[in-house]
Structure 1
Amino acid sequence: MNPIRKKRLTLIGLMVAGIGVATWLALNAFDENLMFFFSPSEVAEGKAPTAHPFRIGGLVEANSVKRKPDGLTTAFSVTDNAEAVTVEYTGILPDLFREGQGIVAMGQLNESGIFIASEVLAKHDENYMPPEVAASLKTAHDEGVSNMQSKVQ
């Protein structure tokens, strides 16, 4: 093979390998930062990952907020009116956090099925609800209505 062709082929091979490594690094970084949203019903069905962070949203269930003795840890249940998931959060909760309030929590499930939140977000006014939460509540309501109709018939 001609030395010039050999040099060009080596250079092209190195460029393809470099582009491949750069693509792999970009996709790996994207995968690590990707955070999906799951409703409490989906978490109860086992669709949520256990070793990867995700978001969960719904309404804070009435009479479910329990503060631990350390003063910063709070446990509460998030529901979509079909299923409920227990959430534990250590830190200062948002001022708008209360029972019956729509929230979105970011974190991951532990081995016992409790969602350990790293961040809790509450809606900012009485008319706003995160789109994912509104959609999961509507789906749970529609499924509940169809389940009730089939039980009546």
Structure 2
Amino acid sequence: MNPRRKQRLAVVGIIGFLIVSAVGLMLYALNDSIDLFYTPSEIIEGKNGQKPQIGQRLRIGGMVVPGSVSRDSESLAVSFDLIDTGPTVTVTYTGILPDLFREGQGIVATGVLTDVGAIKAQEVLAKHDEEYMPPELAEKMKGIKHVKPENMPTYESSNGAGSK
């Protein structure tokens, strides 16, 4: 191998090593800001054989258990239980809850696992289905009959082909 080829190979090797090192450092730095998503069952029983660690930042999604919401009358603190198909997890949150938050509603909370089955949330998001309509629009549409697409009549076109 001639010296010029050896020099090129060394430069390519060094550049490759630097790129791999930079990517590795970026992934390591981003590891702390990743929020893993869990359900209440996965927090209690584990996900893929691993339970989240106390102090770990995570997201949890589930349904608010009816009758579990308790509010502090002197502050914005609220506590409620989340459930999926198994055990419940207690979520505590201090702040203003979303307008769509209610018992029996699906929510996603971002926070820190403080104890097995207990989460201190920094953010609570209420989920809604595709039937959601902002209150202002719902008020304007009162009295207008809504037809769902699957219930729409079939019309014949001039070439005889039916369309919806």
TM-score normalized by structure 2? 0.64
Residue 123 of structure 2, aligned match among 112, 119, 123: 119
Within 2, Cα distance between the matches of 1:89 and 1:123? 17
**Corresponding residue for residue 76 of structure 2:** 72
Q: Which has the larger radius of gyration?
A: 2
Deviation at 1:70, TM superposition (A): 4.5
Query: Match for 1:60 among 61, 64, 78?
Result: 64
1:99 aligns with 2:66: no
Displaced runs of 4 or more, over 6 A: none
Deviation at 1:7, TM superposition (A): 5.0
Structure 2: gaps of 5 or more residues: 133-164
String of CA shifts for 1:15-60, please: whole Å, max 9, x gaps: 1221122220232245334333221112121444124322211111
Matches of 1:111 and 1:40 in 2, distance apart? 13
Secondary structure, counterpart of 1:31 in structure 2: helix
Alignment equivalent of 1:49, drawn from 26, 49, 52: 52
Is the CA contact 2:64–2:81 (under 8 Å) kept in the aligned structure 1? yes
Deviation at 1:81, TM superposition (A): 4.3
Residue matched to 1:134: none
User: Partner amino acid for 1:14?
Assistant: I
Determine helix, strand or coil for the equivalent of 2:97.
Answer: coil
Q: Which letter does structure 2 place at the counterpart of 1:22?
A: A
> Structure 2 counterpart of 1:93, which letter?
L
Separation (CA, whole Å) in 2 of partners of 1:112 and 1:34: 20
Of structures 1 and 2, the one with the larger relative CO (CA 8 A, separation 6+) is 1
Match of 1:88 in 2: 92
Q: CA deviation at 1:85?
A: 0.5
Q: Percent identity?
A: 50
Unaligned runs of 5+ in 1: 129-153
Question: Taking structure 1 as reference, are residues 68 and 112 closer, same or farther at Cα in structure 2, changes over 3 Å only?
Answer: farther
Q: Structure 1 residues 4, 86: CA separation in 2 closer, same or farther (over 3 Å shift)?
A: same
Backbone CA RMSD of aligned residues:
2.7
